[in-house]
Amino acid sequence: MSSDSPAGFHDSGAVSLQARRWRICSQDASAMPGVTARQVHIFKVEQRLDRDRPLSDDGRRALLELIDNHRRQVHGEAAVLAERIQRLKRRATPHRLGAIDGAVESAPSITTSDSAVCFLLDALETVGLQRRDRIDQALWSDLEELIPSGKVFDFTSGGPEEDNLIRRCLFWGVVLRLPTLEGDPPQDTADCLAWCGYACHDRGRARSASQWWSDHADRMAGRPGRELDRRLLGLPAEGRITVEAVKAAYKAAAREAHPDLGGSAEQMTAIIQAKERLIQGLGL
């Protein structure tokens, strides 16, 4: 009997039904180089084929095509991931890391540790790191192994523990998103968080769809204002903003509001109008 037969399959004098079916799977596999009896078994079960008969020529072709497609998909995903990691390494220069470190310095005054932790954890799988439900020392080690130049930034002293955690999570959360961002990190904290999509990410966690439409209803009722426009784009309600920050926040918000990505035409229109009003208000 094949060495990769399922646990519990065995002969007891007479050939059991399961063992006979497994032998048929093994015979099918032997006619297809690179295919295992287990793959044949799973294919027959999923396709509801007669397991008491060998695969037909059409069945073999279908299985080989399925396996080939899966291999190409895995290879393609691996290639995309490898390219993303290489772009991350190219983008994570000491200059940019230093700029991000400076930008997140005052972040504890405008965000929470829960939001910062989620911002980091949500980015792990995009660069091939294992998804985690919490922060631990192994995570920091994995990040520093991925980007060794990040080791020089110390977030373990110089303030309350929670503030240090916020800075550290935001720092690495922004770094991991560098492959999807263009240009250099803005030095202003609010601008940097808007540039990397943090404001939109935080808004998506904290605000429900009903809240979003409540804001939109205010505008439709003739109660718009600068604060509401900022909220629609996920920008801070107060403080200085730049055209670059508005455009970056708009791009992040559009990814949620676009009709093709789960949003609606009404949401997209409201976001476009908010962007235009904010830029116009800056005198440009």
Cα(53)–Cα(44) distance, integer angstroms: 10
Do 179 and 190 share a domain, yes or no?
no
Check whether residue 73 and residue 96 sit in a common domain: no
Three-state DSSP class for residue 12: strand
Judgement on whether residues 74 and 103 belong to the same structural domain of the protein:
no
* pLDDT for 8: 45
**60: in domain:** yes
pLDDT above 80 for 78 = no
State how far the Cα of 218 lies from the Cα of 29, in Å rounded to an integer. 65
Residues 170 and 199 in one domain: no
Question: Average pLDDT for residues 73-94, to the nearest whole number?
Answer: 84
Asked whether residue 37 falls in the same domain as residue 52, the answer is yes
Q: Is residue 8 part of a domain?
A: no
Residues 1-18, mean pLDDT to the nearest whole number:
52
The residue from 156, 183, 210 where one domain ends is: 183
pLDDT band (50, 70, 90) for residue 92: very high
pLDDT confidence tier of residue 57, bands split at 50, 70 and 90: confident
Q: Name the pTM for this structure.
A: 0.52
Of 31-45, 92-106, 138-152, 254-268, least confident by mean pLDDT is 254-268
**Based on the domain organization, do 175 and 244 belong to the same domain?**
no
Please count the structural domains in the chain. Answer: 3
In this prediction, residue 211 carries a pLDDT of 45
As a whole number of angstroms, the distance between CA 223 and CA 27 comes to 74
pLDDT of residue 167: 92
Q: Is residue 12 domain-resident? A: no
Rounded to the nearest integer, the mean pLDDT of the chain is 79
In this prediction, residue 15 carries a pLDDT of 54
Are 190 and 262 in the same domain?
yes
For 226-282, the DSSP string reads HHHHHHHHT--SSS---HHHHHHHHHHHHHHH-GGGT--HHHHHHHHHHHHHHHHHT
Domain identity same for 277 and 248: yes
Q: Is 48 left (phi over 0), alpha (psi -120 to 50) or beta?
A: left
DSSP 98-163: HHHHHHTTTGGGTS-HHHHHHHHHTTGGGGTPPP-SS--HHHHHHHHHHSGGGGG---SSSS-HHH
- 282 in the same domain as 191: yes
pLDDT of residue 93: 94
pLDDT at residue 46 in the model: 85
The reply to whether 3 falls in a domain is: no
Q: Write the DSSP assignment of 149-184 as a string of letters.
A: GGGG---SSSS-HHHHHHHHHHHHHHHHTGGG--S-
As given in the structure block, the two tokens for residue 282 are 């800056």
Judgement on whether residues 199 and 283 belong to the same structural domain of the protein: yes
Given 137, 159, 183, which residue is the final one in a domain? Answer: 183
Residues 212 and 167 in one domain: no
Percent pLDDT > 90 in the chain is 19
Residue 63: domain span? 17-87
Q: Are residues 39 and 83 in the same domain?
A: yes
Kindly state whether residue 102 falls inside one of the protein's structural domains: yes
DSSP 54: P
Residue 244 within any structural domain of the chain: yes
- Asked if the model's pLDDT at residue 197 lies above 70, the reply is yes
pLDDT above 60 (res 45): yes
Write down which residue in 158, 183, 208 finishes a domain.
Answer: 183
In a domain, 6, yes or no: no
* In a domain? residue 2: no
